[in-house]
C-alpha cells in the first residue's frame, strides 16, 4: 500500500511544475495548443510526402535524403501522437472561441443577455483578453456604464488591423460581387486569405528557388514552367530563378484577390472618428 502511495506522490511531484506552468499560461492556452497541433500536422504531412514521393529515391546511393528516413519515421510517430493528444483539446478551445466570437458579433442586447452564461463560460476558459472583449461588448450595448476595475482591453494597432481583416463580413470582394452571399461570411474570407497566401508562397518559391530536379538525386533548383506545360513543350522546367507568363498572371491574380479580402471600410479608423 505504501509503495502505491509513494508512486502517486512521485507522479504528482513530477508533473506538478508542468501543471503549474500550464495554469499560469491560461491566456495563451489556445495559441499554445494551436502551435502544437500545427507542428504535429506538419510533421505528419512531411512524413507522408517523404514516404510517398521521396522514399524510392532515398534507396539510391547518391540521394541526399537517404539519411532522413529514420528521422521521418520519428516525425511520423511524434506527429500522430501530438494530433491524438492535443487535437481534441485544441478543437474544444477553438469551438469555445468561435462561440464567443459569434456572441460578440450580436447587435441585439436581448439576444446577448440570453447567451450571457454561455459567453462567460467561454471567456473564462479563453483567458483575460477575451474576458476584456466580453466586458467591452457589454459597455458597447449599454449593459454596463464602464469597464470593471482591473479589466482593460489592450490591443495593438497591428493585431486590431489583422483581426478586422480576418473577421470582416464586408470585404472589398463581397462588395464587388454582392450577389455571392458566401463572400459575406468571415470564415469564407479567411479561407480565401489562406489560399491566396499559400498560392503566392508556392509560386514565389517555384520562381525563385525552384521545385523541379534536373536529374534523380540532384537538388530541386529548376522552376516549373507552367506556360510550357500548357503548350505541351518537351522541356517543362528552366533553371531558377525563372518566371513564366502563366505563373506571372496567377501571381497577379492571387495578389489582387488577397488585396480584395480587406475590409471595405476601415473599422479602426471609423471607431476613432466616432
Residue 35 corresponds to which cell in the numbers above?
Answer: 502551435
Answer yes or no: are the C-beta atoms of 217 and 63 closer than 8 Å.
yes
CA–CA separation, 259 and 268 (whole Å): 18
Residue 33 corresponds to which cell in the numbers above?
Answer: 495548443
CA–CA separation, 272 and 145 (whole Å): 19
Contacts of 34 (CB under 8 A, 6+ apart): 90, 94
Residue 57 corresponds to which cell in the numbers above?
Answer: 529515391
The residue ranges of every structural domain in the chain are: 1-90, 168-266
Answer yes or no: are the C-beta atoms of 6 and 45 closer than 8 Å.
no
pLDDT for residue 270: 45
pLDDT for residue 15: 63
Contacts of 135 (CB under 8 A, 6+ apart): 144, 147, 148, 151, 153
Antiparallel, parallel or unpaired: β 237-239 and 212-213: unpaired
- What residues does 135 pair with on adjacent strands? none
pLDDT for residue 54: 62
pLDDT for residue 251: 93
Tell me, rounded to whole angstroms, the distance of Cα 36 from its chain centroid: 12
- What residues does 239 pair with on adjacent strands? 222
CA–CA separation, 206 and 53 (whole Å): 18
Q: pLDDT of the chain along its 274 residues, tens only?
A: 455 565 566 556 656 776 777 677 777 888 888 889 989 988 888 888 777 766 655 444 445 556 677 888 888 899 999 999 999 999 999 899 889 888 888 888 888 888 989 999 998 888 888 888 888 888 888 888 887 777 776 655 556 677 778 778 888 988 888 888 888 888 888 889 989 998 999 899 888 888 887 776 667 788 888 888 888 887 888 888 888 899 999 999 999 999 999 888 654 444 444 4
Backbone angles phi, psi at 262, to 5 degrees: -70, 155
Amino acid at each position: 500500500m505504501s509503495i502505491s502511495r509513494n508512486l502517486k506522490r512521485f507522479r504528482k511531484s513530477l508533473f506538478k511544475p508542468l501543471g503549474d506552468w500550464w495554469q499560469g499560461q491560461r491566456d495563451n492556452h489556445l495559441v499554445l495548443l494551436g502551435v502544437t497541433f500545427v507542428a504535429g500536422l506538419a510533421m505528419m504531412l512531411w512524413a507522408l510526402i517523404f514516404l510517398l514521393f521521396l522514399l524510392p529515391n532515398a534507396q539510391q546511393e547518391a540521394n541526399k535524403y537517404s539519411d532522413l528516413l529514420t528521422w521521418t519515421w520519428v516525425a511520423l510517430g511524434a506527429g500522430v501522437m501530438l494530433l491524438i493528444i492535443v487535437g481534441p483539446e485544441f478543437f474544444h478551445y477553438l469551438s469555445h472561441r468561435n462561440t464567443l466570437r459569434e456572441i460578440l458579433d450580436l447587435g441585439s442586447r436581448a439576444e446577448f443577455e440570453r447567451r450571457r452564461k454561455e459567453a462567460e463560460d467561454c471567456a473564462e476558459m479563453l483567458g483575460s483578453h477575451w474576458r476584456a472583449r466580453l466586458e467591452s461588448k457589454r459597455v458597447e450595448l449599454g449593459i454596463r456604464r464602464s469597464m470593471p476595475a482591473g479589466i482593460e482591453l489592450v490591443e495593438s494597432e497591428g493585431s486590431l488591423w489583422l483581426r478586422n481583416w480576418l473577421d470582416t463580413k464586408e470585404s472589398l470582394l463581397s462588395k464587388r460581387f454582392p450577389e455571392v452571399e458566401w463572400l459575406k461570411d468571415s470564415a469564407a474570407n479567411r479561407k480565401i486569405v489562406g489560399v491566396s497566401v499559400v498560392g503566392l508562397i508556392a509560386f514565389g518559391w517555384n520562381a525563385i528557388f525552384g521545385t523541379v530536379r534536373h536529374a534523380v538525386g540532384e537538388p530541386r533548383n529548376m522552376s516549373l514552367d507552367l506556360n510550357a506545360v500548357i503548350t505541351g513543350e518537351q522541356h517543362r522546367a528552366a533553371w531558377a530563378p525563372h518566371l513564366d507568363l502563366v505563373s506571372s498572371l496567377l501571381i497577379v491574380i492571387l495578389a489582387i484577390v488577397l488585396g480584395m479580402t480587406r475590409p471595405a471600410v476601415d473599422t479602426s479608423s471609423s471607431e476613432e472618428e466616432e
